[in-house]
Amino acid sequence: MNDQIAGGIDVEAVPDTLAERPQWICWRTEDRDGKATKVPVDPETGSFASTMDDRTWTTLEQALEYMATGAATGVGFVFTATDPLVGVDLDDCRDPETGEPLEPAPSIIERLDSFTEVSPSGTGYHVILEGDLPDGRNRHGSIEMYDRARFFTVTADHVDGTPTSINERQEALEAVHEEFVASQVSDGADGVDSNLSDTEACDQSLKLEDEELLENARSASNGEKFARLWCGSTAGYESQSEADMALCCLLVFWTGGNAARVDHLFRQSGLMRDKWDDVHYSDGSTYGEKTVERAISNTNDVYDPSNESGTCDVGAQTTTTQSHSREDPTSTTDRTTEETNSAQAAYLAEKNQLLGERVSDLEATLEQKDTRIGACHRIDHRVLSFVRPGLCPLS
């Protein structure tokens, strides 16, 4: 360590490849459902940051300044599709008391041979290198690899004996990925996100990149609501579970009802928490799987870029809109680009308005069910003694 310390971070230990990029955020620890969760923070506003919205990122200097105020626990670096960087997260492979690495960390760190730091908990390592992350699974067990839409907490607690720079290590990355991630048999614990090849195949059918999809959602008539939920705000909801459902319904619309992609996107949002992957049901389903499943079943109207039928189903209703029946702009030579964009914007706005109404109806239904359940629990036990076990007079 040296004298140039800012907010507890050794600035000189941060590789130039990271320090020079304006892809920095802060993070703080929040308790969610009894579990400590690292929440991304926008250093300029203090509100939630998003790993898919560069408007919430800033420079390392500004991130450190905000961290120094005590409003954040640390700083983080966001990986994007436009940079050549890959982060390898090795968790639960270091003794925090002795500092001794545990298998398989030593062999992976040696083979990757690039900048390596100790994680904030002291129980793992971060390796950052240049390369292209191979297709397929990106995580197995305590090993995770990311090259976009994620942030790494940066401690700059450099591991002695490893390079101080970020090196290009494509062949080593492919070998480590094949041995420790791709070739491992899935036990289902990694969830949908552990098999990104499936998600990528679904992405091709929608033909919208994540960033474009999110921008469309923010620009729609209910975009402000989407933005709040995406950044992790639960304002207006009695519980985070209700907010989770509301965001998933919106994502169902924009992904065309694609469960794998809803899960993939939700994991990037500020609402993501450890509970998402917890098994909550007797059939082995996780909380996240059931939330996505219910959101899909309650959202009949979805965005389909190729739909020119002129109708959209909302519940039992069929609505015809002018924007749906618009002619194909590629077949009309005298239609201007401005007119085409206007028609598309009107189409998206109306679709979102309809979706917003369905989300509101869903929220009202959930609130009614919660009220009935609460009333059931308040019934005097003397009354319940006359009722068959498991039945509620109000159900």
- Does the residue 289 lie in any domain? yes
C-alpha span between 201 and 143 (Å, rounded): 23
Report CA torsion sign: 246, 251, 257, 260: negative
3-state SS, residue 90: strand
> Rounded to whole angstroms, what are the CA distances from 176 to 106, 135, 141, 273, 377?
12, 13, 14, 28, 53
The tens digit of pLDDT for each residue in 51-67 reads 878 999 999 999 999 99
The predicted structure's pLDDT at residue 371: 57
The number of beta carbons lying within 10 Å of the beta carbon of residue 175 is 14
The tens digit of pLDDT for each residue in 216-264 reads 898 888 999 999 999 888 988 989 999 999 999 999 999 888 888 899 8
Pair (349, 229) in one structural domain = yes
Pair (289, 358) in one structural domain = yes
Q: Which residue, chain included where needed, has tokens 């929040």? A: 30
Which residues make beta-bridge pairs with 116?
Answer: 127
Is the per-residue pLDDT at 28 higher than 50? yes
* Omega within 30 of 0 (cis) for the link into 329: no
What's the length of the chain?
A: 395
- Does the residue 282 lie in any domain? yes
Pair (323, 255) in one structural domain = yes
Pair (274, 363) in one structural domain = yes
Mean pLDDT of 160-182: 96
Nearest to 294 by CA among 241, 342, 340: 241
Q: Enter the DSSP assignment of 181.
A: I
- Does the residue 243 lie in any domain? yes
Which residues make beta-bridge pairs with 153?
Answer: 76
- Does the residue 383 lie in any domain? no
Q: Which amino acid is at 249?
A: C
Mean pLDDT of 180-190: 63
Pair (158, 241) in one structural domain = no
The predicted structure's pLDDT at residue 380: 46
Is the per-residue pLDDT at 89 higher than 80? yes
- Could you tell me the pLDDT band of residue 316, with boundaries at 50, 70 and 90? very low
- Could you tell me the pLDDT band of residue 123, with boundaries at 50, 70 and 90? very high
C-alpha span between 302 and 164 (Å, rounded): 48
- Does the residue 200 lie in any domain? no
Q: How far apart are the first and last CA of the chain?
A: 65
Which residues make beta-bridge pairs with 318?
Answer: 313
Pair (131, 181) in one structural domain = yes
- Does the residue 60 lie in any domain? yes
Pair (142, 57) in one structural domain = yes
Nearest to 266 by CA among 255, 278, 282: 255
Pair (146, 228) in one structural domain = no
Most confident of 9-23, 32-46, 299-313, 341-355: 9-23
Q: Which residue, chain included where needed, has tokens 């007119």? A: 339
3-state SS, residue 174: helix
Q: How many domains does the chain have?
A: 2
Residues 6+ apart with CB under 8 A from 320: 310, 311
The tens digit of pLDDT for each residue in 269-287 reads 889 888 998 887 877 788 9
Token digits of residue 321: 């809109």
Lowest mean pLDDT, pick from 143-157, 314-328, 375-389: 314-328
> Rounded to whole angstroms, what are the CA distances from 345 to 312, 323, 329, 335?
16, 9, 14, 15
Is the per-residue pLDDT at 42 higher than 90? yes
Pair (56, 126) in one structural domain = yes
Last residue of one domain, picked from the residues 169, 185, 201: 185
The predicted structure's pLDDT at residue 335: 35
Mean pLDDT of 150-172: 96
C-alpha span between 78 and 152 (Å, rounded): 7
> Rounded to whole angstroms, what are the CA distances from 302 to 47, 108, 279?
30, 44, 28
Pair (10, 63) in one structural domain = yes
Asked whether the beta carbons of 177 and 30 are under 8 A apart, the reply is no
Q: Which helix (H) or strand (E) holds 169?
A: none
Which domain does 316 fall in, by range?
Answer: 209-374
The predicted structure's pLDDT at residue 387: 42
The number of beta carbons lying within 10 Å of the beta carbon of residue 228 is 19
Sheet strands side by side (includes 85-90): 116-118, 125-130, 85-90, 143-146, 139-140
- Could you tell me the pLDDT band of residue 170, with boundaries at 50, 70 and 90? very high
- Does the residue 180 lie in any domain? yes
Cα angle at 160 between 159 and 161, to 5 degrees? 115
Longest dimension (CA), the chain: 77
Pair (140, 231) in one structural domain = no
Pair (244, 149) in one structural domain = no
Asked whether the beta carbons of 277 and 193 are under 8 A apart, the reply is no
C-alpha span between 395 and 393 (Å, rounded): 6
